[in-house]
Amino acid sequence: MTTSSIVVSSVAELVRAVQDTGIRQIVVSGELADVPTLRLSPGQVLQGHDDDAALIFATGIDGLQLTTDNEVHSLHLVASSDRRAIHNDTQVESLGRLVLGEVTTIGQVQILARDKVRSGHVEVAGLDVVSADARAQADRPQGFGVHVLQGAFTLWNMQADAAVVISARLVGLSAGRAAAPVLGSGIFVSGAGFEGGRLTVSLLETGEIHSDGRIAPGTPDMITGGVFTVFNAFVDTVRNLGPVVTYGQNDMVLDNWGSVDHWVAEEKITSYGPSGIGFVNFGLVNELEVEAPIETFGQGARGFNVYAGTVNRAVFDRITTHADGAVGIQISQPIGYLSVRRGLETFGGTGDSLVKGVVLKLSAIALSVKPGGSAREIDIDGGVTTHGDGVAPLEMLGVVGRLSIEGGVNAKQTH
């Protein structure tokens, strides 16, 4: 294997270098504009020479295509926001080991295992997707009555064969800005379906995430997630080290259809749109720790939901909702232990909310255990409070083994 390295400072030099399979390392000096789509040869490394190193791709095209055993380091990659800044060639047999380190993009980062790709490992150590619009990507997971829009960062094993396993370690991912969220989902990791190819992730660690699906009102069968572990994704640990915020209709903040051993959110979880849920679970979570408040502002935007699967242990700081139909906690499946440290409070009345692809009328009950739902133990400090007219703080239609509420159960009418 060759170890030759070259420094490039023009588009022509860059294009020649990526086409030369004998060049192992390509170092970009400065900012190069109007760059065509580039395809790295297997084994090639592309990196920036200094902080100013950037590739600005021509308008309306995809940017950098990865093949097998590629690495990209310390580089700004700028495509049109509705194109892919980084994607992969699905006509190679393996991703090998793909590495992204300290990379900033405008445009989606999309890595798919489909067509001929049947193996590989993806390593991310610092990726900031400043701006991206993934809404036009037609491939969307489907389940529970809805389709999921892809994310600014999308890693998806689409192989139907259950023997195909893609592995990953994803650290330091951030997406969007408070005044300019990414469009679509934020961080999206998925296997092929409820059966089929799996994605195994040892660690998924995110910084600040801002996303908006821009889903049209009255669209019940489409959702997004700020951080979304989709079906057949098996994740050892998810850590949300920065705030995760969603802004639009049906934009879940944290959503799990997969299997997560330990999920920790260290900063605030916020939803501004209708039917956007703070944390919604349709899969398996062993331990969930939300160490900062969950707060929702949109109609029907619940705080925490378990609609399918289960959560063995869930610990929350505080959950607050502000609109009609916005239930605080809703449990529709058996779970284990649940606690809230600083209270559960809702400010809304009765209104529409999206449930499994169907719009239903819900009241903003603070703690709702539905028929078929149960909990081994529930501990709430700081009280359970509703403010909507005629809205009960508690709804117990399932079984709770032990319920402890410190701070009272309060129905405070607004009139």
Q: In the numeric block, which tokens belong to residue 360?
A: 């239903």
For residue 401, what are the CA distances in angstroms to 245, 366, 378, 381, 404?
34, 19, 8, 17, 10
Q: What is the pLDDT of residue 286?
A: 98
CA distance 258 to 148: 14
Q: Which residues contact 314 (CB under 8 A, 6 or more apart)?
A: 285, 287, 288, 289, 290, 304, 335, 336, 337, 338, 339
CA distance 44 to 23: 7
CA distance 108 to 411: 46
Give ∠ CA 318-126-211 in degrees, rounded to 5. Answer: 50
CA distance 251 to 224: 5
The amino acid occupying position 218 is: G
For residue 185, the surrounding DSSP H or E stretch is strand 185-190
For the chain, the maximum distance between any two Cα atoms, rounded to a whole number of angstroms, is: 77
Q: What is the chain's pLDDT, residue by residue, as a tens digit (415 residues)?
A: 456 999 999 999 999 999 999 999 999 999 999 999 999 999 999 999 999 999 999 999 999 999 999 999 999 999 999 999 999 999 999 999 999 999 999 999 999 999 999 999 999 999 999 999 999 999 999 999 999 999 999 999 999 999 999 999 999 999 999 999 999 999 999 999 999 999 999 999 999 999 999 999 989 999 999 999 999 999 999 999 999 999 999 999 999 999 999 999 999 999 999 999 999 999 999 999 999 999 999 999 999 999 999 999 999 999 999 999 999 999 999 999 999 999 999 999 998 777 767 777 889 999 999 999 999 999 999 999 999 999 999 999 999 999 999 999 999 876 5
Tell me the HSE value of 375 on the side-chain side, using a 13 A CA sphere: 25
Q: Give the phi and the psi of residue 378 in degrees, each rounded to 5.
A: -130, 125
Q: What is the pLDDT of residue 1?
A: 42
Question: Residues 379, 404: contact at Cβ < 8 Å?
Answer: yes
For residue 248, what are the CA distances in angstroms to 36, 39, 211, 221?
34, 35, 8, 14
Q: Is 51 exposed, middle or buried (0-12, 13-18, 19+ CB in 10 A)?
A: exposed
CA distance 337 to 56: 50
Question: Residues 391, 411: contact at Cβ < 8 Å?
Answer: yes
Identify the CA nearest to 275 among candidates 231, 308, 324, 240. Answer: 324
Domain ranges of the chain: 5-411
Q: In the numeric block, which tokens belong to residue 37?
A: 């789509």
